[in-house]
């Protein structure tokens, strides 16, 4: 039996105060109130469309939100990035999944209101852009093996890598947290530097220290985390390079499109 995803959304809409304006076989137009902490409710006109088994959402007309803003997770076609389809596809196949879709949309719209005020995306646990999300998932799995401190560093986007030196094993990658060195790996050999050092998972835990080489799979996890962070940074750079020259909506303080526009202006628009 074929599932009517649009009908499922329409049936759950009232649970979120949404009023259906129009229902078509592959499209649903609604108004939805977004409750704010100060007691106000902001009204959005939203269009949901079914394409290839996935339901996208966008503002019916770009009134409250930019028509396009990668830093606010709004695609070039104005659809919202409500999740990462490879990991968590937005399929609506039951009443429960329809409820989850509405809940995610409402959370996204609340975050948009905060983003507009702050000039930055307020949820530090948002997915990376484009294919960088593949490597973010790798990094999250590796960080989970190393412990809560690494999970938190990664979630708050504190981790970065720098390349340094060269030798028999190739250049070393230093993984940093807010600019503070944590550990290093040999990039070419994909091996942690100094396997006889105290395991990086032990710092500040009060447990009996173990060396990195004999502390479970932490040597391998440390390498995977460093390489995943490196690859995520590369893909983020490629993602933004694809949008070079695109107009910036001007609402996000540190948006690479905004920085690019400023640099272009300084150079005299050449």
pLDDT of 270 reads 40
Residues contacting residue 237 through CB under 8 Å, at least 6 positions apart: none
Q: What are the angstrom distances between the C-alpha of 116 and each of 34, 109, 171, 242, 252?
A: 14, 11, 42, 24, 8
Please give the DSSP secondary-structure letter assigned to residue 212. Answer: G
The pTM score is 0.79
Helix (H) or strand (E) holding 119: none
User: Is residue 63 helix, strand or coil?
Assistant: coil
Query: How many residues are listed for the chain in this entry?
Result: 270
pLDDT of residue 254: 87
Name the phi and psi angles at 82, rounded to 5. Answer: -85, -10
The two most distant CA atoms of the chain are separated, in Å, by: 67
Contact predicate 78/69, CB 8 Å: no
The helix/strand/coil state of 200 is coil
Tokens of 158: 């504190």
Sorted by where each begins, the domain ranges of the chain are 5-118, 132-242
**What per-residue confidence (pLDDT) applies to 170?**
64
pLDDT at 267: 42
How are beta strands 41-51 and 27-35 bridged, if at all?
antiparallel
Q: What are the distances in angstroms from CA 200 to CA 44, 81, 179? A: 47, 35, 17
pLDDT at 156: 86
pLDDT tens digits for the chain (270 residues)? Answer: 678 999 999 999 999 999 999 999 999 999 999 998 888 999 999 999 998 778 999 999 999 999 999 999 999 999 999 877 666 667 889 999 999 999 999 999 999 999 999 999 887 666 778 888 889 999 999 999 999 999 999 988 899 999 886 666 667 899 999 999 999 999 988 999 989 888 988 654 555 568 888 999 999 999 999 999 999 999 999 999 999 888 999 999 988 888 754 443 444 444
Cβ 228 vs Cβ 138: under 8 Å: yes
Q: Quick one: pLDDT at residue 265?
A: 41
Instruction: Show the beta-strand stretches assigned E in 1-40.
Output: 19-24, 27-35
Round to whole Å and give the CA distance between 105 and 267. Answer: 41
Is the separation of the CB atoms in 251 and 116 below 8 Å?
yes
């Amino acid at each position: 039996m074929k599932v009517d995803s649009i009908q499922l959304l329409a049936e759950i809409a009232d649970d979120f105060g949404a009023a259906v304006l129009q229902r078509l076989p592959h499209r649903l137009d609604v108004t939805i109130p977004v409750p704010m902490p100060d007691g106000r409710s902001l009204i959005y006109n939203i269009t949901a469309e079914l394409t290839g088994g996935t339901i996208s959402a966008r503002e019916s007309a770009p009134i409250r939100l930019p028509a396009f803003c990668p830093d606010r997770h709004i695609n070039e076609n104005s659809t919202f990035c409500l999740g990462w389809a490879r990991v968590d596809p937005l399929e609506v196949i039951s009443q429960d999944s329809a409820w989850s879709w509405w809940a995610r949309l409402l959370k996204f719209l609340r975050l948009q209101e905060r983003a507009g005020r702050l000039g930055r995306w307020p949820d530090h646990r948002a997915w990376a852009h484009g294919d960088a999300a593949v490597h973010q998932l790798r990094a999250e799995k590796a960080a989970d093996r190393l412990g809560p401190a690494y999970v938190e560093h990664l979630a708050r986007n504190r981790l970065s890598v720098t390349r340094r030196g060269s030798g028999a094993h190739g250049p070393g990658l230093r993984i940093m947290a807010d600019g503070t060195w944590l550990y290093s790996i040999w990039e070419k050999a994909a091996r942690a530097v100094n396997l006889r050092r105290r395991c990086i998972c032990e710092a500040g835990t009060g447990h009996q220290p173990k060396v990195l080489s004999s502390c479970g799979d932490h040597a391998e996890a440390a390498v995977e985390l460093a390489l995943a962070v490196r690859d995520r940074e590369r893909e983020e750079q490629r993602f933004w390079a694809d949008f070079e020259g695109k107009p910036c909506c001007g609402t996000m303080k540190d948006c690479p499109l905004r920085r690019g526009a400023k640099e272009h202006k300084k150079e005299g628009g050449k």
